[in-house]
Amino acid sequence: MSAGGARALDLARDIAAGERSAVAVAQAHLDRIAEHDGLVHAFNVVTADAALARAAEVDRAVAAGEPVGPLAGVPIAVKDNLATRGVETTCSSKILQGWVPPYDATVVQRIAAAGAVVVGKTNLDEFAMGSSTENSAFGPTRNPVRTDRVPGGSSGGSAAAVAADFAPIALGSDTGGSIRQPASFCGVVGVKPTYGLVSRYGLVAFASSLDQVGPFANSVADAALLLDAIAGPDPADATSIPQAAEAVLPRLDEGVAGLRVGIVSELLGEGIAPDVAARVREAAEALAAAGAEVVEVSVPAVTYGLSAYYLIAPAEASSNLARFDGVRYGLRVDAPTTNEMMVATRTAGFGDEVQRRIMLGTYALSAGYYDAFYGKAQKVRTLIGRDFAAAYEQADVLLSPTAPTTAFELGAIADPLTMYLNDICTIPTNLAGHAAMSVPFGTGDDGLPVGVQVLAPALGEVPMFRAAAVVEAAAPAPAAFEIAGSK
């Protein structure tokens, strides 16, 4: 199976024109899921009956000449931390196993309004805390490109679903790189939009000042199509940007002539594999050949991003996850007293990584340590924003690796700190609230995908996507692969 199946743009156009049946398209993807997901485990639940019923509605609307939306009949996978009415939403955690939301997340409402067909909910690191999708309570996801490797995390299920052609597009969430890093590992496109561009209503919170929903796709154009469908103001989300989102897809072909591209020097040094760094340099050369002005820029404070993030994000998680107490909803482990019940519930319901981050965050917020840890981390966050602002005075978009290496083997990293280093290139963007995306660009020395990260200032999605489209066009053709163990 080659990397990348039918494009969402092509499917939507053909289905809307009556040249393809939405039911037939949905069934083909469901058949592929049935054949291969036993090995990959991209999905926590496959909503086959609902998908076929929804696809039939799209076909009926097409036959009746009714409008069907820009995602007409396109199968889509949804990360299992986005609320879906009537469909279990677990965050891949025992503490939420069996919880069925009574409402849809705003992004789920928007993809439905655009005509998409949800085929299932995808696996993730529990509560989006991880970089490998090995922290799921329901077992790890495997990378379809090479199934002894991780797909990245925390949105590994969504990235794997797109890479395996289980769905041409998917939704993920990105708190410190959870869309971009798995996109890099799986050889697909992944976008972390500007904070507030896409509604967080119905996204189960990890770190509220950092979380953002975004698309996965097999092409830059498909990612733009999905982003345009989900972006825009939402009165249900107080952090939503109030002005209308600028459409990205119509401007993809504008090229990069005159665009200033800055290579972030701090993200090409120590800790970055030489083969990954080489791909970034080659992408920069392709942008220069297309008419961009390429310069090297410095963003000094990004080197402190990891330290600041792993105080701020756990602190917010400690607060957000306090609601899972065995009283209101989710798992409840009975005990003689209320306090013992809460302890027993949270001990049984949360995995090791989630417990680790709750304890770290609670410590960082505790009396006597708040100023020394959490307060100082927030000051570093401000410095990162200032350094990015200075860099964007010299360049319109920035370029860096998405991840420091290609996908590593399942079970290869047991040390939490080593695992956290996977996010060194992606975390600074979340701290700044800016936009960034990962674009596949060739392979490393091991033959596994490498992602190049294109970064932009807040609301800089249009120039970011223009640069990404040029990088994509210059990228070596993706290597063909078969999912190991497939029929």
- pLDDT tens-digit readout, 15-67: 999 999 999 999 999 999 999 999 999 999 999 999 999 999 999 999 999 99
Judged by phi (left if over 0) then psi (alpha if -120 to 50, else beta), residue 65 lies in left
Given a cut of 70, is residue 1 above it in pLDDT? no
Helix (H) or strand (E) holding 223: helix 220-230
The residues facing 439 across adjacent strands are 452
User: Among 292, 163, 250, which Cα is nearest to 465's?
Assistant: 250
Calculate mean pLDDT across residues 451-476.
Answer: 98
Whether residue 357 is predicted with pLDDT greater than 90 in this model: the reply is: yes
Give CA–CA dist 212/426, Å, rounded.
13
DSSP, residue by residue, 363-381: HHHSTTTIIIIIIHHHHHH
Share above pLDDT 70 across residues of the chain, in percent, rounded to a whole number: 98
With cut-offs at 50, 70 and 90, classify the pLDDT of residue 6. confident
Written as six digits, the tokens of 359 are 């304890």
Q: What pLDDT, in 10s, does the model give residues 153-193? A: 999 999 999 999 999 999 999 999 999 999 999 999 999 99
401 in a structural domain: yes
Q: For residues 156 and 42, what is the distance between their CA atoms, to the nearest angstrom?
A: 7
CA atoms within 13 A on the CB side of 127: 27
Q: Does residue 374 lie in a domain region?
A: no
Residue that wins the pLDDT comparison between 280 and 368: 280
CA separation for the pair 269, 105 (Å, rounded) = 40
Q: Which amino acid type is present at position 409?
A: E
Residue 294 has pLDDT above 80, yes or no: yes
| Whether 79 contacts 157, CB under 8 Å | yes
Domain assignment present for residue 72? The answer is yes
* pLDDT tens per residue across span 431-443: 999 999 999 999 9
Q: Which residue has the tokens 């996908």?
A: 407
CATH number of 120's domain: 3.90.1300.10
Tokens of 270: 């120590």
What is the model's pLDDT at position 5? 62
Q: Which helix (H) or strand (E) holds 286?
A: helix 274-289
Return the closest-CA partner of residue 317 out of 269, 351, 275, 278: 351
pLDDT of residue 425: 98
178 included as an active-site residue: yes
Angle at 438 between CA 437 and CA 444, to 5 degrees: 165
Q: Is the pLDDT of residue 482 over 90?
A: no
Q: How many CB atoms lie within 10 A of CB 44?
A: 24
Catalytic-labelled residue, pool 92, 93, 131, 154? 154
Whole-number Å distance between alpha carbons of 160 and 137 = 18
Query: What would the mean pLDDT of 350-371 be, rounded to a whole number?
Result: 92
Distance CA 130, CA 403 (A): 14
* Cβ count within 10 A of residue 383: 16
Beta carbons within 8 Å of 291's beta carbon, 6+ residues apart: 255, 256, 257, 258, 259
Mean pLDDT of 88-108: 97
User: How many CA atoms lie less than 13 Å away from 355 in the CB half-sphere?
Assistant: 12
What is the domain extent for residue 242?
A: 8-299+386-474
Residue 150 has pLDDT above 90, yes or no: yes
**Contact call for residues 319 and 362 (beta carbons, < 8 A):** no
Q: In the beta sheet, which residues pair with residue 87?
A: 84
Neighbouring C-beta atoms of residue 348, cutoff 10 Å: 13
Residue 321 placed within a domain: no
Please give the Cα distance from 136 to 121 (Å, whole number): 13
Q: Closest Cα partner for 217 from 420, 45, 440?
A: 440
- Are 232 and 106 in contact, with CB atoms under 8 Å apart? no
Q: How far, in Å, CA of 40 to CA of 36, rounded?
A: 7
Q: What is the pLDDT of residue 236?
A: 98
Structure tokens at 361: 């965050």
480 confidence band (pLDDT: 50, 70, 90): confident
d(CA 256, CA 287): 7
Per-residue CA distances from 127 to 19, 100, 340 (Å): 41, 16, 23
The pLDDT assigned to 28 comes to: 98
Residue 478 pLDDT more than 90? no
Peptide bond into 209 cis (omega under 30): no
Residue 173 lies in a domain: yes
Per the domain annotation, does 355 fall within a domain? no
State the average pLDDT over residues 394-401. 98
| Cβ(172)–Cβ(184) below 8 Å | no
CA 418 to chain CA mean position, Å: 21
pLDDT at residue 332 is higher than 60 = yes
The single residue of 21, 79, 93, 199 carrying the catalytic annotation is 79
Q: Is the pLDDT of residue 4 over 60?
A: no
**Amino acid letter at 401?**
P
Across the chain, mean pLDDT equals 96
Q: Which of 21, 136, 173, 178 is catalytic?
A: 178
**What's residue 328's pLDDT?**
84
E-only strand ranges, 366-471: 397-401, 435-443, 449-456
**Rounded to an integer, what distance in angstroms lies between the CA atom of residue 190 and that of residue 210?**
17
Structure tokens at 198: 């896409």
pLDDT band of residue 486 (cuts 50, 70, 90) is very low
Residue 326 lies in a domain: no
Whether residue 183 is contained in a domain is answered as: yes
- Name the domain count of the chain: 1
Clarify whether 192 is annotated catalytic: no
